[in-house]
Amino acid sequence: MLVKSAATHIQHMQKALQQMNLRLDNVVSDITGQTGMRIIKAILSGERDARKLGMMRDYRCHATAEEIAQSLIGNYRQEHLFSLKQAVELFEYYQEKIAECEAEMEKYLECLPHVTEEEPPELPFKEKRNLMSFNVQDHAYKLLGVDLFRIRGLNSETVLRIVSEVGVDLNAFPSEKHFASWLCLSPNQRVSGGKVLSSKTNPSSNRAAAAFRQAAVSVERSQSELGAFYRRKRSQKGPASAATATAHKIARLYYSLVKNGTEYQEQGARAYEERERERIVANLKKRARSFGLELVAKGA
């Protein structure tokens, strides 16, 4: 609720800037980042020199000072400056409340019984996965005994949402199939006379299922096994079915890790594609044999 309210005021900030013809969103990916907020607060303080505003960029910003300055030549009208000022103040107010909420969440997580007191091993890849002000990876590892952050797509937000919905004890689900079915991520096949009429999943408002779907969509461009799986399914059935199939796969991985206490070993997109190629070739050879033929590789 707090994040949604803060996002509303970001939109108000963008609208006020656009009404003054200040297209800061064209040169920075996030106007609430280091560069964006530094420039916005300078504008509210009375700075109007576009060149000086451009020089306030953070060193990590991809846009140059000249590019930023060209996007900050506008009409500084008082009514829009007032709207911008109020939007910034409300955004910062919600950021304070979000920080208080996250501090309370961390305090609650520390009170829960831990499986282990060890620190999670370092991840084999560098990727921003912690979106909270505290280290969710450490708390999740101590609660479950496995590092869920090794699964591409899962981040601090999705892990907390899933754990809060399903808990740390999965004994209520006899198998990963039962778990995926409870999430309404398994195909609901309707068969009549041996013909499959439909295999769509049942509609669900389960928040854990929504978190798994969010994780699935985030791996679209990932050079990982899950990313390669998502792209293959998308080419076959479209993005919606790909998100459901990948969410189903991530849910089964989650169940296996938490229930059995095993570590997930990422194989990578190339290894997945090679296995998929071998599977297709094996099926083609089997089908050729059924017709009394033999499949021979080119150049063999």
Q: Is 63 left (phi over 0), alpha (psi -120 to 50) or beta?
A: beta
Q: Is 141 left (phi over 0), alpha (psi -120 to 50) or beta?
A: alpha
Encoded amino acid at 112, one letter: L
Indicate the residue among 108, 131, 165 that finishes a domain: 108
Which tokens sit at 255? 């169940």
Q: Note whether 40 and 92 are same-domain residues.
A: yes
Indicate the residue among 86, 108, 130 that finishes a domain: 108
DSSP state of 25: G
Q: Note whether 241 and 104 are same-domain residues.
A: no
Q: Note whether 168 and 246 are same-domain residues.
A: yes
pLDDT score recorded for residue 299: 64
Helices 225-237/269-290 angle, 10° precision: 50
Question: How would you write the pLDDT of the chain (300 residues) with one tens digit per residue?
Answer: 999 999 999 999 999 999 999 999 999 989 999 999 999 999 999 999 999 999 999 988 889 999 999 999 989 999 999 999 999 999 999 999 999 999 999 999 999 888 888 888 777 666 666 778 888 989 999 999 999 998 988 999 999 999 999 988 899 999 999 999 999 998 877 777 777 767 778 888 889 999 999 999 999 988 889 999 999 999 998 999 999 999 999 999 999 999 988 888 888 888 888 988 899 999 998 999 999 988 888 765
Q: Note whether 123 and 243 are same-domain residues.
A: yes
> Which segments of 5-108 are extended strands (E)?
none
Indicate the residue among 44, 78, 108 that finishes a domain: 108
pLDDT score recorded for residue 193: 77
Q: Note whether 227 and 202 are same-domain residues.
A: yes
Q: Note whether 66 and 132 are same-domain residues.
A: no
Q: Note whether 67 and 45 are same-domain residues.
A: yes
What total number of domains does the chain contain? Answer: 3
Q: Note whether 66 and 199 are same-domain residues.
A: no
pLDDT score recorded for residue 120: 83
Q: Note whether 128 and 233 are same-domain residues.
A: yes
- How far apart CA 157 and CA 165 sit, in angstroms, is 12
Q: Name the residue range of residue 299's domain.
A: 267-300
Q: Note whether 296 and 192 are same-domain residues.
A: no
pLDDT score recorded for residue 297: 81
pLDDT score recorded for residue 200: 79
Q: Note whether 123 and 252 are same-domain residues.
A: yes
Q: What's the pTM value of the predicted model, to 2 decimals?
A: 0.80
- How far apart CA 1 and CA 19 sit, in angstroms, is 28
How many residues in the chain? 300
> Is residue 190 within 8 Å of residue 198, measured between CB atoms?
yes
Q: Note whether 67 and 210 are same-domain residues.
A: no
Whole-number Cα distances in Å, 123 to 108, 117, 119, 157: 25, 18, 12, 18
pLDDT score recorded for residue 180: 92
